[in-house]
Amino acid sequence: MTLGLREILNKHNSLISGTAACPGCPENMAMRMLGMGLGKDTVVVVVAGCSSIIQGNAPYNSYNLPVVNIAFAAGPAAASGLARAYKQKGKDVNVVVWAGDGGTADIGFASLSGAAERNEDIIYVCVDNEAYMNSGGQRSGSTPLGAITSTTPEGKKENKKNLPFLMVSHNVPYVATASVGYPHDYIQKLKRAKEIDGFRYIHVLTPDPYGWLFDPSRTAEIAKLAVQTCYWPLFEYYNGKITVSQECLHCLDKRTRRPIKDFLSVQGRFKRVKEDDIAKLEKYIDDMWEKIKELM
């Protein structure tokens, strides 16, 4: 299934003008695409983070969908309650949890894992900007090794927690990764998720100009670079198998991968990265692709 641009633009507009996002905000982009993928029978549970602010101050509201804003660790549980209530009322609603990497990898992980284990009929979207951007850019469990954040001024010492794999280990019906640099791919995945019952997890890389330190005009380009350098894979996991998107087929063979330096050098947050850190990052990428190949 490949969508043309016109088809995408005709879909439900989940974002109306005047959001409170920073210029070049990747979460804004991801939210717009959510409506394009799922249409308007959607309820979004927004977990504390940039997306709680982007919608604007009450009584104004720039998300053109019903929204339940909620505290950090409560998203998947609240969505479970909503989804079951709609089922009881005989309503067909896509219940979406919309959370950042902090809410997903760290403080909210128990409730995410619980909802996945119960196979709740919800779609969980993690918008991953790789740090706690809403509180000023502190490290999260999803921050990559070597990245400077306000709580790791010397560069993070540990690798990124690999959430998509963790969700694959939960044996849920559907897990996918996406990047705001590839809207077609992301929207197709949303559409596929919509057709599946049970717990669905979509992890979207959302490069943040203010935490990653690049010019806001380059968000989409950096989001693409992450995929081209194989730092961020694009895949779908369902029926017990991983399918890799065509945008990163070249990553399956180490020899055809674009060097990771191309991705690191365009961002200020990696300016202190040392050669041995780059080697560690390369190893992280190699290991990740080996695992992906095992599951293909």
Partner 1 sequence: MIRKIISGNEAVATAVKLARVGLTGIYPITPQTSIIEKLAEMKAQGEIQTEIVRVESEHSAMAATYGAALAGIRAFTATASQGLLYMHEMVWWVAGSRVPVVMVVGTRAVGAPWNIWNEHTDFTSERDSGWIMAFASNPQEALDLTIQAFRISEDERVFLPVMVGMDGFILSHTKTNVLIPDQEQIDDYLPPRRQPYVIDPEDPVEIGNMFPPEGYMKLRESIHLALKNSEDIIRQHGREYNKKVSPMIDYSTLNSSYRLEDADYAVVLMGAWAGDAMEAIDVLREKGIKIGMLRVRYLRPWSEKEIRENLEGKKGVLVLDRSTSFGRGGPLYIEVKSTIRDTEVKDIVTGLGGVTVGKSDMIYLFSKFVEGIKEDVTWYYPKEVGKLDVRTPRDIE
Nearest approach in angstroms of CB 198 to partner 1 is 15
Applying CB under 6 A, the site for ligand SF4 has a residue count of 12
The torsion angle over the Cα atoms of residues 36, 39, 45 and 51, rounded to 10 degrees, is 20
Q: Which of 185, 231, 188, 190 is nearest to 207 (CA)?
A: 231
Nearer to ligand SF4 (CB atom), residue 27 or residue 120: 27
CB of 135 to ligand SF4, least distance (A): 10
Tokens of 49: 């983070």
Which residues does 183 contact at the CB level (< 8 Å), separation at least 6?
8, 29, 33, 36
Q: Considering the rule CB under 6 A, would residue 101 count as an interface residue with ligand SF4?
A: no
Helix (H, G, I), strand (E, B) or coil at 85: helix
Selection from 84, 90, 99 nearest residue 34 by Cα: 99
DSSP secondary structure letter of residue 130: S
55 binds, among partner 1, ligand SF4, none (CB under 5 to 8 A by kind): partner 1
Q: Is 193 left (phi over 0), alpha (psi -120 to 50) or beta?
A: alpha
Question: Which residues have a Cβ under 8 Å from the Cβ of 21 and sit 6 or more positions away?
Answer: 27, 28, 50, 53, 54
One residue of 11, 27, 38, 225 binding ligand SF4 per CB under 6 A: 27
| Residue 25 touches ligand SF4, criterion: CB under 6 A | yes
Asked if 52 touches ligand SF4 (CB under 6 A), the answer is no
104 touches 97 (CB < 8 A)? no
Q: How far is the CB of 111 from partner 1 (least distance, A)?
A: 5
50 near ligand SF4 (CB under 6 A)? yes
Site residues for partner 1 per CB under 8 A:
40-43, 45-46, 52-53, 55-59, 61, 63-71, 73-86, 88-89, 91, 93, 110-111, 113-114, 117-118
Q: Does 185 bind ligand SF4 (CB under 6 A)?
A: no
The token duo for 244 is: 């890799």
Question: Smaller CB distance to ligand SF4: residue 14 or 129?
Answer: 129
54 is a contact residue toward ligand SF4 (CB under 6 A)? yes
Residue 210 binds which one of partner 1, ligand SF4, none, with CB within 5 to 8 A depending on kind? ligand SF4
> Given the rule CB under 6 A, which residues bind ligand SF4?
21-22, 25, 27, 50, 54, 129, 133-134, 208-210
